[in-house]
Amino acid sequence: MNRARKLVASISTLSTRRRTYSPSSSTFRTISIINSQTHHSSRRESFQPSSSAKPLCLRFSGREFSSGSSDTTSSSACWNCGSSSEKDAFLFCDSCRSIQPIDDSVDYFQIFDLEKKYELDAGSLEGKYKDWQKKLHPDLVHNKSQKERDYAADQSAKVTEAYRTLTKRLSRAMYIMKLNGKNVNEEETITDPTLLMEIMELRETISEANDSKELDQIRSQVQEKLKQWSDSFVEAFESQRFDEAVKCIQRMTYYERACEEIVKKL
């Protein structure tokens, strides 16, 4: 299945490249061909014939279908100047520096130029986030068109969402599972008695604890456990033991919840 998709993607990449500079009508035709072959087209606005002279933005990126980001040939062309960029310049067009709309195929790790793995350097992430916020600051885009300002606002929201997801261990774990096609089933009821009993007792202790010293102590114990299970998650995930990884995530969810309760009480 994946191979078929990669084939389609490379075909669309080729045809896109060839037709990037052609007038709107033939570009539109290209899109309808691609459209019939692929199921997922996230950018619907691209397919409305625009009355302006600007070429339609072709949003198909080969990355949408291939699993690895090592394939850096982006086939998205800039809506403004039509040039298509070789590297992952998803925010600004390299040629004309106009702000691009959100590309859903760009994942959070790519935004911060990080390797797609669970372990990361929090300091470096924070630094990169601050850099992004500077680039996308409203004041810096105020002299751009309304369209670009809207794009910048969307991009900014995405960057913030990405940062929030990647900073916390639990959300990072769930995200990386999702990227690998393993969605943590949140609806399922857990009946593991050992885990539940432990959490029950933990929550009871928290609700009975009344002084902040005791709560702090409990909190550091829970943080310990979080770290422990986070490490187990990494191990399970990297060895592709996804069921075990999911269990680690479930535990982490409970410990996070317990931490939240403690914070509320403090």
The reply on whether position 256 binds other proteins by CB under 8 A is yes
The interface region with other proteins, picked from 2-10, 55-63, 130-138, 185-193 by CB under 8 A, is 185-193
Q: CB-wise, 163 or 254, nearer to other proteins?
A: 254
Shortest CB 251 distance to other proteins, Å: 9
Residue 89: closest CA among 17, 99, 80: 99
CA 255 to chain centroid, in Å, comes to 24
Nearer to other proteins, 206 or 234 (CB): 206
From 186, 208, 211, 243, residue interacting with other proteins (rule: CB under 8 A): 186
The long-range contacts involving 234-242, CB below 8 angstroms and separated by at least 24 positions, are: 234/118, 234/119, 237/118, 237/173, 237/176, 237/177, 238/118, 242/177, 242/180, 242/182
- Min dist. Cβ of residue 207 to other proteins (A): 8
Least separation in angstroms between CB 229 and other proteins: 13
Options 195, 231, 242, 244; binder of other proteins; rule CB under 8 A? 195
Q: Which is nearer to other proteins, 34 or 249 (CB)?
A: 249
CA-based radius of gyration for the chain: 23
Give the nearer residue to other proteins in terms of CB position, either 5 or 251. 251
Asked if 263 interacts with other proteins (CB under 8 A), we say no
Task: Please tell me whether residue 1 adopts helix, strand or coil conformation.
Answer: coil
CA dist 60 → 44, 121, 209 (Å): 11, 32, 56
What CA–CA distances, in Å, run from 120 to 15, 235, 239?
38, 15, 18
Cα angle, residue 16 at apex, residues 181 and 9 outer, rounded to 5°: 25
- Closest to other proteins by CB, 75 vs 250, is 250
Q: Contact residues for other proteins (CB under 8 A)? A: 184, 186-193, 195-197, 199-200, 203-204, 207, 249-250, 253-254, 256-258, 261
